[in-house]
Amino acid sequence: MISEEDTWIRCRRLVEQKVGWGDSEHWQNRDFEQLSELILAETGVSLSVSTLKRLWGRIRYDSVPTPTTLDTVARFVGYDSWRSFRQKDTSSQSIGIPEPQKEPLPEPTVLPVIPRPAIGRWLTGSLLGLLVVICIVWAYRQRDTTLRYGPVSFVSRPVAKGAPNTVIFQYDATDSNADSVFIQQSWDPRLRARVDKAGHTYTSTYYYPGYYRAKLVLNDSIVREHDVFVASAGWLGTVDREPIPLYLRANTVKKSGEISITPADLQTVGVSLTGEVPETNLFMVDSTGIVDGKHFVFETAVRSTFSQGKAVCQPVSIALLCSTGFHRIPLSVPGCVGELRLVTGNTIVSGQTTDLSGLGVDFSRWVLVRYEVNGKKASVYVNDRLVYQGNESGEVGQVVGLRFGFLGTGAVKFARFQNLDL
C-alpha cells in the first residue's frame, strides 16, 4: 500500500518540476516566498512561508498538514483536490507482492491433444466479429465531438464587501451536449472545480482580497467569463495562519500619518513577536482604482520595523495585484539582496544571477520606491535612484490593488498609482 508520505513526495516533486528552480535542498527563504506568491496567484489561497518550509521538511513539525493545505498544493500542480491526486497516484502505482514459495510440482502427465469441435471455433470467430463491430460503431460515434450549446448563463455575486468573502455563482449549462461542466475561479485553467451539469449554484469562500476572472467551462471550452473582485474594504491587515488568517481591520492599521502593523496590533489578535515571527500583510484592493497595466507609475514609502530572529534580513514584498498576474518589488537589508526575487510582469529576476544590490536599503528611515511600466519596459527607482531596468514579458492585465508583505511588523506612509502619459 502506498503511504501518505510517498504520495506527498511525488506531489512535491511535481511542484519542483513546475517552478524549475533546481533541487529544493538548495532553496532559500526567498524561494519559498516566491512559491507562496505563485500559489496565491494561481489558487487564491495563501500558504505561508513557514507552512511551505514545514511541508518541505525545513522546519520540524509533528502534526499532519491540514486538508486545506494539501488541497491547495494539489490544485497548484493541476488536480482538483488532494483526494483526486492521491487516487490518481495510487492507481498509477503497482506494488509487487512475492508469491509464497511452494514445493516443486511433479512432472505433469502429457495428454493427447483433442481437436476442438467446429462449433467452438465458430463461436470464437463470432465473438471476435461482434467485438470488431462494436469497436467500429463506438469509433464512429466518437467522431462527432463538436460542443453544442444553446442559451448559457453565468453570473456571480459576493455576499460581503470585504474579506473573507463567499462568492455565489449561478449558472445554467443544461442546454448543451457537454459531458462535463466546470467553474474556473481565475485565469489559470488548473483552478477548475467540476460542478453538476443539472445544478445551478456553486459557492466558494475567499479569505484574501484579490482579482479573479471566473469562467464557465463546458468540456474544454470557455463559454462564459466575468470579473470577480474580492475587495479589501479599505486597508486590511492580515496575519498568515492556516487555514484561516487573522484580520486587522482599517480602524486598527490606519494611524496618524501611516498605515502600519505594530506589536500592539498583533497582541490584539493574540500574536507575539517573542516566538515564531509571523508573516503579515497590508492589502488595498479596490475595483475603482484600476490603472492600465501597460503604462503606469506606482509610488510608495515603506519601512520594515522588525529585525530580530529570522527577520534579520527585514524582507519586504511590494506586490501589485493584476487581473492576469502580478508585479513584485522586494526589498531587504543590503547583506541579503542575493536572496531577492524581482517579478516584472510575471518575469522572475533572481538576485542570485542578477545584480539587485540597489534593492538593499536602510529601514531606519522611510524608503521611497517608484515603479514604472511603459509598454514592455519596467524600471525600479529606490530613493530616487534607478536600480533596475529591464524588459517584462507576459500580459498581466489591469492593476487592481496592492499588497505589502512583512516578516513581523512594518509600515506604509503612502501608496499611489497613476496612468503614465504616452
Residue 117 belongs to what H/E stretch? none
Topology (CATH) of 4-86: 434 Repressor (Amino-terminal Domain) (1.10.260)
- Confidence label for 103 from pLDDT (cuts 50, 70 and 90): very low
**CA separation for the pair 66, 208 (Å, rounded):** 18
CATH 1.20.1510.10 for domain 234-419, yes or no, is no
pLDDT at residue number 396: 78
Which has the minimum average pLDDT: 83-87, 268-272, 282-286? 83-87
Which of 164, 156, 333 has its CA nearest to residue 232?
A: 164
4-19 vs 29-43: helix crossing angle, rounded to 10: 90
Predicted confidence (pLDDT) per residue in 2-13, tens digit: 566 778 888 888
> Taking a C-beta distance cutoff of 8 angstroms, is the pair 391, 375 a contact?
no
Beta bridge partners of 154: 171
**Rounded mean pLDDT of 415-419?**
89
Place of cell 506586490: 319
The SS3 call for residue 208 is coil
- Confidence label for 96 from pLDDT (cuts 50, 70 and 90): very low
Q: Is the pLDDT of residue 315 over 80?
A: yes
67-76 vs 4-19: helix crossing angle, rounded to 10: 40
Q: What is the DSSP string of 302-368?
A: EEE---SGGGTT--EEEEEEETTEEEEEEEB-GGGGGG-EEEETTEEEETTTS--GGGB--TTS-EE
**CA separation for the pair 227, 246 (Å, rounded):** 26
pLDDT at residue number 111: 47
- Confidence label for 42 from pLDDT (cuts 50, 70 and 90): confident
Peptide bond just before 164 cis, omega within 30 deg: yes
Q: Do the domains 153-230 and 234-419 sit in the same CATH topology, yes or no?
A: no
Residue ranges covered by each domain of the chain: 4-86, 153-230, 234-419
Topology (CATH) of 153-230: Immunoglobulin-like (2.60.40)
Q: Is the pLDDT of residue 200 over 80?
A: yes
Q: Is the pLDDT of residue 101 over 50?
A: no
User: CB count, 10 Å around CB of 413?
Assistant: 15
User: CB count, 10 Å around CB of 419?
Assistant: 13
**Rounded mean pLDDT of 246-260?**
94
pLDDT at residue number 48: 79
- Confidence label for 255 from pLDDT (cuts 50, 70 and 90): very high
